[in-house]
A and B are shown apart, each in its own frame.
Chain A
Amino acid sequence: MSVAEQSIVGAEDRSPGFLDSSVGRKVVMAITGVVLFGFVTVHMLGNLTSYMGAEAMNHYAEFLHTMIHGMGIWVFRAVMLTAVALHSWAALSLTLSNRAARPVGYRAQQRQAATWASRTMRWSGVILGIFIIFHLLHLTTGSVHPSFIKGDAYHNFVTGFQVPAVAAFYILAQLCLGLHMWHGVWSFTQTLGLVHPRYNGLRRNFATVLTILVVGVNISYPVAVLTGFIH
Chain B
Amino acid sequence: MEKHLNLTLQVWRQKDGKSEGSFVDYPAKHISTEMSFLEMLDVVNEDLIRKGEDPIAFDHDCREGICGTCSMVINGRPHGPKERTTTCQLHMRSFSDGDTITIEPWRAKPFPVLKDLIVDRGAFDRIIAAGGFISAPTGCGQDANALPVPKQNADLAMDAAACIGCGACVAACPNASAMLFVSAKVSHLALLPQGQPERYSRVRDMVAQMDSEEFGTCTNHGECEAACPKGITMENIARMNRDFIKSSLTFRPEIASGGAG
Interface residues of A (CB under 8 A from B): 2-5, 7-9, 13-16, 18, 20-27, 94, 97-98, 100-115, 118-119, 121, 183, 186-187, 189-195, 197
With contact pairs A114-B174, A114-B221 given, residues A194 and B211 touching in the complex (Cβ less than 8 Å): no
Report B143 CB to chain A, min CB distance, Å.
Answer: 33
A2 in contact with B223 (CB, 8 Å): no
B204 in contact with A8 (CB, 8 Å): no
Residue of B nearest to A187 (CB): B220
Q: Measured between alpha carbons, how far is A22 from B212 in the docked complex, in Å?
A: 10
Residue of A nearest to B217 (CB): A22
B77 in contact with A98 (CB, 8 Å): no
Report A124 CB to chain B, min CB distance, Å.
Answer: 13
B217 in contact with A4 (CB, 8 Å): no
Q: Measured between alpha carbons, how far is A114 from B219 in the docked complex, in Å?
A: 10
Residue of B nearest to A20 (CB): B211
Q: Contact mask B193-220 → A, CB, 8 Å, 1/0?
A: 0000000000011011111111111111
A sample of 26 cross-chain residue pairs with beta-carbon separation below 8 angstroms, ordered by A number, consists of A4-B110, A4-B212, A8-B126, A9-B209, A15-B251, A15-B253, A16-B208, A16-B212, A18-B248, A20-B211, A23-B241, A24-B244, A98-B176, A98-B219, A101-B177, A101-B215, A102-B109, A102-B216, A109-B76, A111-B221, A121-B219, A183-B220, A187-B219, A189-B238, A191-B238, A193-B241
A27: B residues at CB distance < 8 A: 241, 245
Report B126 CB to chain A, min CB distance, Å.
Answer: 5
Q: Measured between alpha carbons, how far is A24 from B242 in the docked complex, in Å?
A: 11
B35-43, B52-60, B100-108 - the one binding chain A: B100-108
Determine if B129 is an interface residue (Cβ-Cβ < 8 Å).
Answer: yes
What are the nearest 5 A-B pairs in CB distance?
Answer: A193-B242, A101-B216, A195-B238, A113-B222, A110-B76
| Band of interface residues on B | 35 or more
Determine if B61 is an interface residue (Cβ-Cβ < 8 Å).
Answer: no
Q: Measured between alpha carbons, how far is A4 from B112 in the docked complex, in Å?
A: 13
B213: A residues at CB distance < 8 A: 4-5
Besides the known contacts A3-B212, A21-B207, 10 further A-B residue pairs in the complex with CB atoms under 8 A apart: A8-B209, A9-B208, A14-B208, A22-B207, A23-B240, A107-B102, A108-B102, A110-B76, A113-B221, A191-B218
A23: B residues at CB distance < 8 A: 207, 240-241, 244-245
Q: Measured between alpha carbons, how far is A4 from B122 in the docked complex, in Å?
A: 10
Interface residues of B (CB under 8 A from A): 10, 23, 73, 75-77, 102, 104, 107-110, 122-123, 126, 129-130, 172, 174-177, 179, 204-205, 207-223, 225-227, 234-235, 237-245, 248, 251, 253
B172 partner, pick from A98, A112, A191, beta carbons under 8 A: A112
B211: A residues at CB distance < 8 A: 16, 20-22
B212: A residues at CB distance < 8 A: 3-4, 9, 16
Q: Measured between alpha carbons, how far is A187 from B177 in the docked complex, in Å?
A: 16
B123: A residues at CB distance < 8 A: 4-5
Q: Measured between alpha carbons, how far is A114 from B234 in the docked complex, in Å?
A: 13
Q: Measured between alpha carbons, how far is A23 from B241 in the docked complex, in Å?
A: 7
Residue of B nearest to A192 (CB): B241
Q: Measured between alpha carbons, how far is A4 from B129 in the docked complex, in Å?
A: 12
B75: A residues at CB distance < 8 A: 108, 110
A97: B residues at CB distance < 8 A: 175, 214, 216-217
A104 partner, pick from B23, B77, B107, beta carbons under 8 A: B107
Q: Measured between alpha carbons, how far is A191 from B238 in the docked complex, in Å?
A: 6
A186: B residues at CB distance < 8 A: 220
B245 partner, pick from A108, A183, A189, A193, beta carbons under 8 A: A193
B223: A residues at CB distance < 8 A: 111-114
